[in-house]
């Protein structure tokens, strides 16, 4: 029997997982949530696989022991593609990961050419190669690492306008490749990136559609918690692992997602 107050723990390197939280709220509005932003280690995309795996496994182990979540969602493509299997081996709690939305993109594309924007760590993973081989056979998948978009999303959520050149470079990184002009669907393979869809849309133009995995993740979470009771013993809150960054500028953005306070780990 699951404690009705047991939270769903949503974990990301920063604010990107809020895009997943938004979809979870739509399906499970009564579910208690703890959001964890590992800003002490941001950005994940520039770290080695070994660093990310050790960091994510260790941190989620501590969080699970302290907060006893009913389910953990790793709302980060980089962490999921590298550490998901290891975390599942270590923790006796359902774990939902985040994977690039290549399957729906392959179903959506009309030209057969798909773009993928991610972090450096994500786009080089064999996991992505396997998704391409499984779901995008006969299609062309062009990849581009756009790490600047992570910081741009973090700035935007603090109320600071990012440099527009960041979005132009991300678009050119895909459209400028051989065959890039045929792209009609772009996979946003980092949970930070949908926060910037409006800005990216201006650079890619109206003929390009964006797809991310947030809705599919929320459906999976709803499926795994089906039949469980939900009751908030306290207001939902966030945890920030950073000790040298003031989280208060992020509070208005978090409040818009139903997170009333940010604690330090």
Whole-angstrom distance, CA of residue 95 vs CA of residue 80? 10
Catalytic residue among 64, 71, 76, 99: 76
What three-state secondary structure class fits 96? strand
Catalytic residue among 190, 211, 221, 239: 190
The CA R_g of the chain, rounded to the nearest whole Å, is 18
Note if 76 is an active site residue: yes
Note if 73 is an active site residue: no
Strands (E) across the chain are located at: 8-12, 33-37, 71-74, 95-96, 113-118, 140-145, 185-188, 209-211, 237-240, 262-264
Angle between helices 165-175 and 148-157 (to 10 degrees): 140
Whole-angstrom distance, CA of residue 256 vs CA of residue 29? 14
Active site residues: 76, 190
């Amino acid at each position: 029997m699951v404690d009705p107050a047991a939270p769903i723990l949503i974990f990301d390197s920063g604010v990107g997982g809020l895009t997943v939280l938004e979809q979870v709220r739509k399906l499970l509005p009564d579910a208690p949530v703890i959001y964890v932003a590992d800003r002490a280690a941001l950005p994940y995309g520039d770290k080695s696989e070994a660093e990310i795996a050790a960091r994510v496994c260790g941190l989620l182990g501590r969080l699970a022991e302290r907060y006893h979540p009913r389910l953990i969602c790793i709302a980060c493509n980089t962490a999921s593609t590298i550490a998901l299997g290891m975390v599942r081996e270590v923790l006796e709690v359902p774990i939902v990961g985040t994977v690039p939305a290549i399957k729906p993109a392959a179903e959506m594309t009309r030209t057969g050419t798909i773009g993928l924007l991610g972090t450096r760590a994500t786009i080089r993973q064999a996991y992505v190669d396997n998704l391409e081989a499984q779901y995008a056979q006969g299609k062309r998948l062009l990849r581009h690492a756009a790490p600047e978009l992570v910081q741009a999303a973090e700035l935007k959520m603090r109320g600071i306008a990012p440099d527009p050149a960041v979005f132009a470079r991300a678009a050119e990184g895909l459209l400028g490749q051989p065959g890039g002009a045929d792209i009609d669907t772009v996979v946003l393979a980092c949970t930070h990136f949908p926060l910037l869809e409006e800005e990216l849309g201006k650079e890619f133009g109206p003929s390009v559609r964006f797809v991310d995995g947030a809705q599919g993740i929320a459906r999976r979470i709803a499926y795994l918690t089906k039949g469980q009771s939900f009751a908030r013993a306290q207001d939902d809150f966030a945890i920030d692992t950073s000790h040298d960054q003031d989280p208060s500028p992020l509070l208005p953005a978090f409040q818009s997602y139903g997170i009333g306070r940010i604690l330090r780990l």
